[in-house]
Amino acid sequence: MYTSLASLQQLFSRYSLPVALRLGLLIAICSSTAFAQIGGIDSDPGEPGTGGVNTIQGNIFVPGGRRLGLRAQVKLRPVTGGAEQYQLSDDSGAFSFRRLTGGSYTLIIDAGKDYEVTVESVDIIQPARRRGDPGIVVPVNIELRLKSNVSPGKVGTVDASGGGAPEAAVDLYKQAVESSKAGDRKKAIEQLKQAVTIYPNFMTALNELGVQYMALQEWRKAAEALRAALKIGPEAFHPRLNYGIVLFQLKDYKAAAAELQIAVQKDSSSVVAHFQFGRALVNVGNYDAAEKELKQSISIDGGESAEAHRYLGAVYIEKRDSVRAADELDAYLKLAPNAKDADRIRAIIKDLRSQASAKHG
């Protein structure tokens, strides 16, 4: 027999857990917020790369400093030989190659007939590391060149993201990116504000300003910047995704779900968009739709999305499916064995298994 809602609340109270959504311990801030600023598609999460633990995280820009508004072909070639890897960037020009060993690589970017094929060298200098240490992430920003027979006005129909911005604004944006990489987010914010003052329609800078506020958990300031970005570029994916995440943090779950649904429609390949939409749906009580979105995020990510399993556990508890709830929480712990609340989750799994056994006994 399934535990009643009151009994579940007593159970979670016994383990010193919050009772929000009946399984509040499952509702955590996802670390994927940072992904939203750059996007990127890991075309095959099961691909071993070159057998290492490092990542090349790239962003493609067009002349003028705006992000590429289409998918480009990106090849990664180890300088010392070995298999060439290939993927498409996302529609903002973001890409990533994971599981790489230290060494030298060549990136080859083909963005179509309007741009020159660009070749970039990348070195992964891996310091001495102990077993189990995480790898390093090497950021790469690549600016394409127009072919000689193409004028800037021929590329795209709406220049909403910042193309055509004065050089001073573009320079400030690039400085802000470097400040953020160095960990000085307050300096990055000031530089981005200056860039937007010079060029108010600099959508990419406004989105990045929102991202910096998100990192500082200044959610209302982030919302203001992202709303401004969306007024300039309502079709842009990343400001829409980021805005949905911010609304979730502000506990406006219904509005968050509406924004994140649009984000999923704009990029159905985004793990982050499906996950964020799924957890917003959990909070508005639409468990069937939440289940679908969370499963989709897990499918795209090759089953490695730990937080999605955690949320699915909450969904199945609400749907009174103790077997699947326990299975999802087990999957979560396999991916996050050192979670701070691991012992409490194990206790809940044990209780869920007991429920299932009693029902079928």
CA dihedral 171, 175, 177, 179 (to 10 degrees): -170
**Which domain CATH number covers 80?**
2.60.40.10
Residue 149 scores a pLDDT above 90: no
Instruction: Return the pLDDT at 104.
Output: 87
Among 108-112, 142-146, 153-157, 176-180, which stretch is predicted with the lowest mean pLDDT? 153-157
Q: What DSSP assignment string belongs to 7-62?
A: HHHHHHHHTT---GGG-GGG----TTHHHHHH----S-TT--TTSSSEEEEEEEE-
Q: What percent of the chain has pLDDT over 70?
A: 77
Whole-number pLDDT of residue 49: 61
pLDDT averaged over the chain? 79
Range(s) of the domain holding residue 85: 48-157
Q: Is the model's pLDDT at 128 over the cut of 90?
A: no
In a domain, 102, yes or no: yes
Q: 108 in a domain, yes or no? A: yes
Per-residue pLDDT of 82-105, as tens digits, reads 778 888 888 778 889 888 888 888
Whether residue 284 is predicted with pLDDT greater than 50 in this model: the reply is yes
The reply to whether 239 falls in a domain is no
Confidence band of 243 (pLDDT split at 50, 70, 90): very high
Number of domains observed in the structure of the chain = 1
Assess if residue 119 is contained within a domain. yes
3-state class (DSSP) for residue 234: coil
* Token pair 């709303």 in the structure block, residue: 227
- Given a cut of 80, whether residue 139 has pLDDT beyond it is yes
- Cα(97)–Cα(112) distance, rounded to whole angstroms? 21
pLDDT band at 50 (very low <50, low <70, confident <90, very high): low
Residue 39: pLDDT band with limits 50, 70, 90: very low
The answer to the question of residue 61 being in a domain is: yes
| Mean pLDDT score, 278-303 | 90
**What pLDDT is recorded for position 268?**
84
Tokens standing for residue 209: 């300003």
The helix (H) or strand (E) run that includes residue 95 is strand 94-100
pLDDT band at 108 (very low <50, low <70, confident <90, very high): very high
pLDDT of res. 292: 94
Q: What is the DSSP string of 121-174?
A: EEEE-PPP--TT----EEEEEEE--B-TT--GGGS-S---SSTT--HHHHHHHH
306-352 tens-digit pLDDT = 889 999 999 999 999 999 999 999 999 998 888 888 899 999 999 99
Per-residue model confidence (pLDDT) at position 177: 87
Least reliable range by pLDDT among 1-5, 208-212, 241-245: 1-5
Whether residue 127 lies inside any domain: the answer is: yes
Res 133: pLDDT = 63
Report how far residue 329's alpha carbon sits from residue 314's, in angstroms, rounded to the nearest whole number.
9
Question: Quick check: is 192 in a domain?
Answer: no
Q: What is the pLDDT of residues 218-232, one digit of tens each?
A: 999 999 999 999 998
Token pair, residue 268, equals: 């159905």
Any domain includes 277: no
Find, among 282, 351, 276, the residue nearest to 318 by Cα.
282
Asked whether the predicted pLDDT for residue 13 surpasses 60, the reply is no
CA distance 10 to 8: 5
Q: Provide the pLDDT for residue 67.
A: 78
